[in-house]
Chain A
Amino acid sequence: MNAKQRDRVATVIIDLIVAAVVGILLFLLVYILSAGLPHVSWKFITGASDPMSGAGGIGVQLFNSFYLLVLTMLISIPISLGAGIYLAEYAKDNWRTSLIRSAIEVLSSLPSVVVGLFGFLLFVVKFKMGFSVISGAVALTFFNLPLLTRNIEESLSAVSRSQREAGLSLGLSKWKTEIGIILPVALPGIVTGVVLSAGRVFGEAAALIYTAGQSAPVTNFSDWNPMDPASPLNPMRPAETLAVHIWKINTEGMAENAAQLSAAASAILILAVLLFNLGARLLGNFLYRRVTASK
């Protein structure tokens, strides 16, 4: 075999592997959507569910999922940004830094049930935060931080040293160089990391069952004062998310159409994740173009 033939064989093999991956993905998508979408109606998407049987709509759960996602990201992005910048730029190459790195790795391999139980014991019980959006968001932050930190550190480290030298040689401080010059270049990579972790957070059930709770009390969507107990924005109310709802319908739901309900809810979950990814990417690209003046 000469180089050209070998090249062709390799290309065919790679194409086949890619086709297999895409095929599996498409199959899953089509399967879930075709099983679920016929049972989806506007009333289902926006309506309330019956607290006992789980029958009815998923409006509150859908909102809860998004609210929890936003809250989790609000907490975890700044922290992991700080940690990522520290590791990429300031941390000396010594045993303390490698200890931090291994700690992050261990944290990222914790099973989500363990994170959930930990959140339950510490936040829900010990800190008396109860089953609440905020308990769930903090637990998810634990779950989210390692991957995001790692991702941000790697995105920043991938930016060429010469960019840092350029900034420093102009008399810019290390911090200013990092925030104003390196971070914008690393933005696309960071956005990818945020999108991936958001998908995980959105679909997470195990860590939330014991923290955000399994009930979705009827909320009053015309009351946006976060202090009011019935307001959807109140971070102290229990908030069953869509993923938890799906789990519940399937395990302890007593609705007779449980199969259809969970199929429909799954379809909506998938669509929501897709929409979120798309939105985050568009936003990321927009920001990147703004700060780098690239096409």
Chain B
Amino acid sequence: MLKQYSFEKTAVQSFDAQTTLALKTEDLQVFYGANHAMHDANLGFPKNQITALIGASGSGKSTYLRSLNRMNDGIATVTGKIWYHGVNINEPNVNIYEIRKHIGMVFQRPNPFSKSIRENIVYALKANGMKSKADLDERVETSLRGAALWDEVKDTLDKSALSLSGGQQQRLCIARSIAMAPDVLLLDEPCSALDPISTVKVEETLLELQKQYTIIIVTHNMQQAARVSSQCAFFHLGHVMEYTSTGTMFSNPQIPVTQDYIAGSFG
């Protein structure tokens, strides 16, 4: 028997004016047709920090994340505001292609292009008009180093990306995203298809990357959330129930639903 929790009692932190937020949503709602999948999400994401989104399956984490770079366009109706550099990017006239260059995304299943490792990284750069071979080569190296993959692939850049292991493919996808020089990186359960060793590698990569990027990561793995994130948001049935620093979330959750979820005595 699933326990009923009140959606009235939430504990969502907001930030003072001193904290620089890279991204912020205001009353974000998502509808899949008649299915109201996300209610009034008000979350701010401090710059150069990692924020984890946790919650049970179907609670709306991916739905929320995909709205942030407008990947839900054409799939769902998203209302409310998404503030990015003082602009509400949830407006119809916003150039979504431009937005996605600034807000990169890595998916649950590694999805490298069926091209060479190098081409995976330079394809979108070339499409954006970067021509010089030297510039492209430099991007390939810095982004692969950033994703902690360079040493493993530097001699096989022209081999097919599909010949890499799952963990390497996922780091290639991270490299492909950061090659676009985004500000914000969205990751939807990036380690769920990976073995523990690859997972550790990706986590180390993220901790390194937060110096340059603001990272929002969806994860099912609470240890992972505890290891990498500074802020943590808990989702339940399409509602953001609690949002606080990761330390508080795991040591001293404020409301019953979070307490039960963290304690593993959910439902």
Task: Check if B115 sits within 8 Å of A170, measured CB to CB.
Answer: no
Contact with B along A171-195 (1 / 0, CB 8 A): 1110010001100110000000000
Task: Check if B114 sits within 8 Å of A170, measured CB to CB.
Answer: no
The B-contacting residues of A in range 157-212, CB under 8 angstroms, are 160, 162-163, 165-173, 176, 180-181, 184-185
Closest to B119 in A: A293
Task: Check if B176 sits within 8 Å of A170, measured CB to CB.
Answer: yes
Stretch at the interface among B76-84, B97-105, B143-151, B253-261: B97-105
Task: Check if A160 sits within 8 Å of B159, measured CB to CB.
Answer: no
Knowing A162-B111, A163-B113, A293-B116 are in contact, say whether A171-B162 is a contact too (CB < 8 A). no
Complex partner residue of A294 from B97, B112, B160, B173, CB under 8 angstroms: B160
Closest to B105 in A: A169
A291 interfacial by beta-carbon distance below 8 Å = yes
> A160 CA to B111 CA in the complex, in Å?
9
Question: Considering only CB atoms and an 8 Å cut-off, how many residues of chain B contact the other chain?
Answer: 31
Which of A163, A184, A294 lies at the interface centre, i.e. has the most chain B CB atoms within 10 A of its CB? A294
A295 interfacial by beta-carbon distance below 8 Å = yes
Task: Check if B100 sits within 8 Å of A169, measured CB to CB.
Answer: yes
A292 interfacial by beta-carbon distance below 8 Å = yes
Stretch at the interface among B19-27, B44-52, B123-131, B216-224: B123-131
Q: How far is the CB of A67 from chain B (nearest CB, A)?
A: 35
Knowing A180-B127, A184-B115, A292-B114 are in contact, say whether A171-B71 is a contact too (CB < 8 A). no
> A133 CA to B83 CA in the complex, in Å?
62
Question: Considering only CB atoms and an 8 Å cut-off, how many residues of chain A contact the other chain?
Answer: 22
B180 interfacial by beta-carbon distance below 8 Å = yes
Task: Check if B128 sits within 8 Å of A169, measured CB to CB.
Answer: no
> A23 CA to B129 CA in the complex, in Å?
55
Task: Check if A165 sits within 8 Å of B115, measured CB to CB.
Answer: no
Complex partner residue of B114 from A165, A173, A184, CB under 8 angstroms: A184
Question: What is the interface of chain B mostly: helix, strand, loop, or mixed?
Answer: mixed
The interface residues of chain B lying within 8 Å CB-to-CB of A294 are 114, 160, 162
B214 interfacial by beta-carbon distance below 8 Å = no
Knowing A166-B113, A295-B160 are in contact, say whether A173-B107 is a contact too (CB < 8 A). no
> A206 CA to B71 CA in the complex, in Å?
51
The interface residues of chain A lying within 8 Å CB-to-CB of B160 are 292-295
> A159 CA to B128 CA in the complex, in Å?
24
Question: What is the interface of chain A mostly: helix, strand, loop, or mixed?
Answer: helix
> A167 CA to B99 CA in the complex, in Å?
14
Closest to A92 in B: B74
Q: How far is the CB of A210 from chain B (nearest CB, A)?
A: 45
The A-contacting residues of B in range 136-183, CB under 8 angstroms, are 158-162, 173, 176-177, 180
Closest to B161 in A: A293
The interface residues of chain B lying within 8 Å CB-to-CB of A172 are 97, 124, 127
Contact with B along A55-76 (1 / 0, CB 8 A): 0000000000000000000000
> A291 CA to B176 CA in the complex, in Å?
18
Contact with A along B218-257 (1 / 0, CB 8 A): 0000000000000000000000000000000000000000
Closest to B162 in A: A294
Q: How far is the CB of B25 from chain A (nearest CB, A)?
A: 18
Q: How far is the CB of B108 from chain A (nearest CB, A)?
A: 9
Closest to B179 in A: A170
> A181 CA to B111 CA in the complex, in Å?
12
> A167 CA to B112 CA in the complex, in Å?
10
Closest to A288 in B: B114
The interface residues of chain A lying within 8 Å CB-to-CB of B100 are 168-171
> A291 CA to B161 CA in the complex, in Å?
12
The interface residues of chain A lying within 8 Å CB-to-CB of B124 are 167, 170-172
B67 interfacial by beta-carbon distance below 8 Å = no
- A sample of 7 inter-chain contacts (CB < 8 A) reads A163-B113, A170-B104, A170-B124, A170-B177, A173-B97, A181-B113, A292-B115
Q: Which residues does B use to contact A, with CB under 8 Å?
A: 69, 71, 97-101, 104-105, 107, 109, 111-116, 119, 123-124, 127-128, 158-162, 173, 176-177, 180
10 closest A-B pairs (Cβ-Cβ)? A293-B116, A171-B101, A162-B111, A169-B105, A171-B100, A170-B124, A166-B111, A293-B160, A294-B160, A171-B97
